[in-house]
Chain A
């Protein structure tokens, strides 16, 4: 774990990572259930945003 990070900061980032992992999973799975194309593309955008963000957050923690 990165020694530069404070405990509070680390815990907040983990909370964010867990929440965003849920968002990513839901956005990915629920894309298959929606019928509107615009909504589908918004959900794709949402999923790739979470993917990118989780990777950045992880890089701060390692």
Chain B
């Protein structure tokens, strides 16, 4: 098995959280990308498709962020707690790179 994946699995309690965070960040970036693309769209068919797709991505963002809040991975209403957790995850990432 890929040694990095082995290391990640070694922190199994974190790997679901890391993956869910990656999916959440991707959904956030995607919503921004769609919004920009919509401002560049000139044909009505494209605008309609992009508008429909951005709505689906927004709906997905709601689901993944609710999931992360339920799991205690994400604390949008408790900034100090979120910052604490972010520091913990950053340290874990630094440790992965260092050993």
Residue numbers of A with Cβ under 8 A of B are 4-6, 8-9, 11-13, 15-16, 19-20, 23, 26-27, 30, 33-36, 38-39, 42-43, 45-46, 49, 53, 56-57, 60
Residue numbers of B with Cβ under 8 A of A are 5, 8-9, 12, 15-16, 19-20, 22-23, 26-27, 29-30, 33-34, 36-37, 40-43, 45-46, 49, 53, 56-57, 60, 63-64, 67, 71
In the complex, A36 Cα to B12 Cα: how many Å? Answer: 11
Q: Are A33 and B19 CB-contacts (below 8 A) given A42-B63, A53-B56, A57-B49?
A: yes
User: Is there an interface contact between A12 and B41, defined as CB atoms closer than 8 Å?
Assistant: yes
B30 to chain A, nearest CB (A): 7
In the complex, A26 Cα to B26 Cα: how many Å? Answer: 10
A residues in contact with B40, CB < 8 Å? 8-9, 11-12
B43 to chain A, nearest CB (A): 6
Which applies to chain B's interface (DSSP): helix, strand, loop or mixed?
A: helix
A46 to chain B, nearest CB (A): 6
Contact of A13 among B37, B56, B67 (CB under 8 A): B37
User: 22 interchain pairs (CB within 8 A)?
Assistant: A5-B42, A5-B43, A6-B43, A9-B41, A9-B46, A15-B37, A16-B33, A16-B34, A30-B22, A33-B5, A33-B8, A33-B9, A34-B16, A43-B23, A46-B23, A46-B64, A49-B56, A53-B53, A53-B56, A56-B49, A56-B53, A57-B49
